[in-house]
Structure 1
Amino acid sequence: MNTTQPPRPPAGATGNSPTQAVWLVVEREIGSKLRSKTFIISTVILLAIALAGILIGGFASKNPEATTVAVTGETASVVEALPNVEATEVADDAAAEALVRDGTVEAAVLVGDGPNGFTVVALSDAPGDLVAGLSVTPEVQLLEPPTTNPMLRYFIALGFGLVFLMAASTFGGTIAQSVVEEKQTRVVEVLLSAIPARTLLAGKVIGNTILAMAQIIALAAVATVGLIVTGQNEVLSTLGAPIIWFAVFFLFGFVLLAALFAAAASMVSRQEDIGSTTMPITMLVMAPYFLVIVFNDNPLVLTIMSYVPFSAPVGMPMRLFVGEAQWWEPLISLAILLAASVAAIAVGAKIYENSLLRMGGKVKLAEALRP
């Protein structure tokens, strides 16, 4: 005789108002995550990596490795005046070339017949900063100068894209696994006997959104601390507003994605089948990351990204950082994202309700969307 008792619904769920029932599910979702050592350790590691990356990058940019150069008495005064150069004075040209050949120095600056009277001697490749420092360059006038440093622009794009990708995919995957696990273990049948499917879906989405936002806020705090410690106050001042907008856009963008992840997962009954229904959503999460990395210097692509709901959390903050967006554009983009989120929640809830209690094979989308 089977004496196994079915799992109980969240304590006190029966008889509560819809709002109370939602928050009971929210507490259940958050509590299960916070009790997971894997989640806690992975979050700490993520924050540590983010802080280390900012600190290392900041200190490296302030203390670049000096270029070692051999000089003679005739060239010493010129080379020593160049920034970030470590000069070693030798007796003659032959001694300077010997230091280059044995790898003691990267290059040697000798008296020569060039336009500026010097010759740079290197083994296989001359240091670019040394050559540039000794060269006579013409005056340059840019008609459309870049608003930000290209390297800084790239790393900011990488940061926005990577944070969005990791947070959305991690917590979206968590929701999907939770839905299928509850179907496999029949827990969902007990839960639905106490609360409606839409209440369960709302609790899952809100709970995981709170966790995702907490991680985003923690990353923003770590980035702020790292920039302050490394003295990058100018970068911090330009990043302030974009980071706030990123958090706002991520909040509603994740709600949209979370509803779709839950709906897609409800269409299958086995963990190994999750990928078959969530793959299109995963691709939508990955697309902004690759687009912003490749096209971070393309105003047209960034503009399009900033108005597409799935990529707006990355595209619009990036445009705000480089100063390419007008003050009203984030508001329009956010309105579009809110409308898309409402539509996604409505569609996701319909799929979730129609698929949650169907066991066995994969539920077809047409059947999941039936009235």
Structure 2
Amino acid sequence: MSTLTTDPPTTGTDEGDRVLVRRPWMTVTAREILVKVSDRSFVLSTIFTTLLLVAAVAASAFFSTRSSEYVVATVDSGDTAASEIAASAGDLIASSGDSLEVTQMADEQALRNAVIAGDVDAGLIQTGNEYVLLGGEEIAGDLQSVVSDAVRTAVLSENAREAGTSLAELESGSQVRTELLAADSDQGAASYVVGFVFAFLFYMATIMFGMTIANSVLEEKQNRVVEILATAIPIRQILYGKVLGNSLLAFGQIVLYGVVGLIAVNVAGLAPDIGWILAASGWFIAFFVLGFLALASVWAVLGALASRSEDLQTNTGPIIMVIMAVLFVGLFATGTALQVASFVPVMSSVAMPVRMLSEDVALWQPIVSLLLTAVAALGLLRLGERIYERAVMQGGTALTWRQAFRLES
């Protein structure tokens, strides 16, 4: 911080030094970034979160491509109907990537014992005019479904032959064809997951970096460092530097997670067409920057109003409630509620990108919403500047917003 306390250089200094003297907030910004990236816990948490993101994508890809192997037992007798049905069930289940093996037991009791012992996944027997699928504690849903379909097909085919017709004629006109009218109807689940990621990233980043700003202000206030800085730098420029430095760090972290996540999803083959995600992600980053800026000055003011850590914990309750509301809007809001929230500053940082994932939004809407958020961010910065200048130099007791606003700067 020697740059802050030395006299302004005259001759013989380079252009960079002259810029820092004319714009001291740049020095504060650089200091905030340097302190944070030098913090071991911050670096480790960033690396851990990145690895966790990659692991989550890898696990999703693994379970989505994982196949199951089933063993179904039948009774070895002169009637091979059950075995043939089980084999046809194997053909049906193969279309989903799973496999089914048919094994024959000497008699029904041996089959039942094998099912109870867990040697086979299920047993298929014929008793009179019906088939019974035997299982232990449970039968896998997909296995039960394909065996039931195979039994139904075999029985209908036999009944059709006895009636002198064919199964195709018997089932003619009974099929229901499904047609989804929305162009992006296959993106529903992916839209929800990406929307959850947007909401969660905003929630975590605003709380983590917001508390960093508040604690930094409180620490400098308690150590009276701010009084030393104020002799060389206008107090409002200290605020600008802190807000900008932490905003850049938050922005960089979000971009890192976004790039790593998109690369991982693409490599894993989970989203062959990620163009729609990229478009919404770009808007999310823009909304995130302005939404974070709107809250950053409030965090700085909370640090300036406090005199102890206990005061800060009490003061942060309302802003944390706002951030939690943003999270819940991103996760659960739909329809009109989501549309309204997408134009409310700060809430729009998550609500508008979530809307763009699930519906067609006219271009003017995110632009108008972004402008509203920018106006709110500027207004909160100006308000925070006035209260910060008054409160940060007051020690000994905690202040309310109203008390700080009445003080002379």
- What TM bracket, shorter-length normalisation? 0.7 to 0.9
| CA RMSD of superposed structures (Å) | 2.7
2:340 to 304, 311, 316: 304
Which sections of structure 1, spanning at least 5 residues, go unmatched?
A: 1-6
Q: Which residue of 1 aligns with 2:66?
A: 64
Name the count of aligned residue pairs.
360
Greater Cα offset, 68-77 or 219-228? 68-77
TM-score of the superposed pair, with normalisation by structure 2: 0.80
Q: For residues 120 and 14 of structure 1, do their structure 2 counterparts lie closer, same or farther at Cα, with a shift above 3 Å needed?
A: farther
Q: Which residue of 2 aligns with 1:78?
A: 88
Identity across matched positions, percent: 29
Pairing 1:170-181 to 2, within 5 Å after superposition: 170-181=208-219
1:231 to 269, 272, 275: 269
Q: For residues 213 and 96 of structure 1, do their structure 2 counterparts lie closer, same or farther at Cα, with a shift above 3 Å needed?
A: farther
Q: Which residue of 2 aligns with 1:218?
A: 256
1:331 to 340, 364, 367: 367
CA shift at 1:252, angstroms? 0.5
Q: Which residue of 1 aligns with 2:226?
A: 188
C-alpha distance in structure 1 between counterparts of 2:255 and 2:292, whole Å: 14
Q: Does 1:139 align with 2:152?
A: no
CA shift at 1:8, angstroms? 5.6
2:136 to 123, 126, 129: 123
Q: What is the CA deviation profile of residues 211-249 of structure 1, one whole-angstrom value per residue up to 9, with x for unaligned ones?
A: 001101100111122012101343522211111111110
Name the larger-Rg structure. Answer: 2
TM-score of the superposed pair, with normalisation by structure 1: 0.87
Q: Which residue of 2 aligns with 1:201?
A: 239
Q: Which residue of 2 aligns with 1:272?
A: 310
Q: Which residue of 1 aligns with 2:393?
A: 357
SS in structure 1 of the partner of residue 199 of structure 2: helix
CA shift at 1:19, angstroms? 5.6
C-alpha distance in structure 1 between counterparts of 2:383 and 2:90, whole Å: 68
Greater Cα offset, 223-232 or 120-129? 120-129
Q: Which residue of 2 aligns with 1:3?
A: none
C-alpha distance in structure 2 between counterparts of 1:132 and 1:12, whole Å: 79
Which sections of structure 2, spanning at least 5 residues, go unmatched?
A: 10-17, 75-82, 153-173
SS in structure 2 of the partner of residue 170 of structure 1: helix
CA shift at 1:292, angstroms? 2.5
Q: What is the CA deviation profile of residues 347-370 of structure 1, one whole-angstrom value per residue up to 9, with x for unaligned ones?
A: 111111110111111112212223
CA shift at 1:122, angstroms? 2.6
Q: For residues 102 and 21 of structure 1, do their structure 2 counterparts lie closer, same or farther at Cα, with a shift above 3 Å needed?
A: same
Q: Which residue of 1 aligns with 2:358?
A: 322
Q: What is the CA deviation profile of residues 29-84 of structure 1, one whole-angstrom value per residue up to 9, with x for unaligned ones?
A: 011111111111111111111111112112321x1341524143222322211124
SS in structure 1 of the partner of residue 249 of structure 2: helix
Q: Does 1:51 align with 2:54?
A: yes
Q: What is the CA deviation profile of residues 111-157 of structure 1, one whole-angstrom value per residue up to 9, with x for unaligned ones?
A: 5789xx75433334332223444447962657876834554333222
Greater Cα offset, 230-239 or 156-165? 230-239
Q: What is the CA deviation profile of residues 185-233 of structure 1, one whole-angstrom value per residue up to 9, with x for unaligned ones?
A: 0000001111111111000010001100110110011112201210134
Q: Which residue of 2 aligns with 1:102?
A: 117
